[in-house]
Amino acid sequence: MNKLPGLGLVERARALQPLIMGEANEIERTRRLTPKVTSALIENELYRALLPRSYGGHEVPLDVFMQMQEEIAKADASTAWCLGQCAVCAMTAAYLEPDAANEIFNTPPGILAWGAIKHDVKVVPGGYLANARWEFASGSRQASWLGSHVRITEADGTPRKKKDGSPEIRTILFPITSATMYDVWDVIGLRGTGTDSYSVENLFIPEKFAALRDDMNAVREKGPLYKLTTNAVFSMGFAATSLGVARATLDAAIDLARKKVPQGLSAMRENNAVQGVIGRTEASLRAARAYLFGTAAEVWRDLERGGTVTEAHRIAIRIASTWTIHQAASVVDTAYHMSGATAVFAANPFERRFRDIHAIAQQIQARDTHYEDAGKAILGSDLSRPPTGR
C-alpha cells in the first residue's frame, strides 16, 4: 500500500486495517510481520510517530500515539505490539547527538528495536566493548538497528555509579548487521512479534551511540513528549493495544450474537442473559478506555503547561495502564466464553485474540506488583489525588 497523504497517523492506522487483517494468518504462521505490512507501516510513517520533529518525525501527543496503537491492534495484536515497541524506541533520538540520531533513524528503514536490561559493557578508549546476549527484542525482525540496556564497567573493572549511588545504565545502539539473531520466539500468543534474542561479540560501541536514555538531564529535546520516560510511554501504548484487542473481540461477539441460534435454544440476540452480558461488558470496556485516556490527558495537560513528570504522574500512568490491560483481558474472556464453541475455531476471530490478550497480560506492563508499588507511594504521601491536584 502506498502512503496515504492528507491523513493523520490515527486515520492512516485505521485505513491499514484491511491490509493487516488480510496478512494476519501469514504473520501468525511465520511468527513475524510480513513485508507488505512492514512496508505499509514504513511508508505511512507510523514508526516515526514519536520521533522528534527535528529529525523528520511526527512527535505526536501521547493520546494520538495511543489511538494509533488501538486502531492497529483491532486488526492484529502482533503488528500493534511491534509498532508500539519500535515507535517508543525512536524516542531515544531525543538523547543522541544529531549525527548519531540521523544515522539511525533517517537511513531507511530507520527502525530501532531492543531487549531487556542485562549485562555490563566495559569502558574502552572512545566508547565501550560489548560481549553479551539479550532477549525479548519485539520488532527486531523489521529493525535496522538494535539496542541493549547495559550497566557500565570502568576499565579497571569497577561499576560506574550515578550520583545517587545506583548503577549507570546506558542504551547502546548498533546496526543489526553487527549482531547474531536467534529464532526463539515460539509462543502461544503474540506469535507474530518475532520477539527473538540477539548477541554481539567484541563489538565496539562509539560513545555517541551509548545514550543516557530516560535521564532528564541528558535529553536534548524540549517538547512535552520527551519529559516522559520511554517506560511510561510503553505502558500507555501497550495498554491502548490491549483496548484494541478487546474492542475487536467484543465487536466480533456482538456480531455473532446478532446471527447465531444455538442448537435447541432461542436466538442469542433474544436471550436476556446474553443481552445483559453484552451491556455490562460494553460498559466495562468503555470505562477502561475512559480511565486510560483520561489519565493520559491529565498528564499531558500538565506537561504542556511547563510541568515535569512527578511521582503522582508516574503512579497515575502505572496503575491506569496495568488496570486497563487486566480489564481488557476480562472483556476478551467474557466475549470468548459468550461465543461458545464458535470461538475455538481458528477460522473465527476469537481464539487468536484470546491467546494474544493473555500474552499481553503476562508482560511486565501488567504485573500485579505495580499495584503494590502504587499503594506504597500513595500511603507514603498524598498521591491519591489526580496529577493536576484538582
- Domains in the chain, CATH or no CATH each: 9-105 (1.10.540.10), 112-211 (2.40.110.10), 228-380 (1.20.140.10)
Q: How confident is the model at residue 386 (pLDDT cuts 50, 70, 90)?
A: low
pLDDT above 50 for 389: no
pTM reported for the whole predicted model: 0.94
Q: Report the chain's C-alpha Rg in angstroms.
A: 22
- The 3-state DSSP class for residue 196 equals strand
- The 3-state DSSP class for residue 374 equals helix
Tell me if 194 sits within 8 A of 82, measured CB to CB: yes
% of the chain exceeding 90 in pLDDT: 82
Q: Tell me, what's the pLDDT at 33?
A: 98
Between 290 and 339, where is the model more confident?
A: 290
Element (H, E) at 198: strand 196-206
Q: Tell me, what's the pLDDT at 110?
A: 97
User: Each residue of 4-51: pLDDT tens digit?
Assistant: 877 899 999 999 999 999 999 999 999 999 999 999 999 999 999 999
Tell how many helices (H) and how many strands (E) occur in the chain. 11, 8
In this structure, what C-alpha cell is assigned to residue 1? 500500500
Question: What does the mean pLDDT of the chain come to?
Answer: 94
User: Each residue of 274-304: pLDDT tens digit?
Assistant: 899 999 999 999 999 999 999 999 999 999 9
Residue 54's alpha-carbon distances to 64, 228, 280, in angstroms, are 19, 18, 46
Q: What angle do CA 14, 92, 132 make, to 5 degrees?
A: 110
Q: What angle do CA 381, 387, 390 make, to 5 degrees?
A: 100
User: Each residue of 88-119: pLDDT tens digit?
Assistant: 999 999 999 999 999 999 999 999 999 888 89
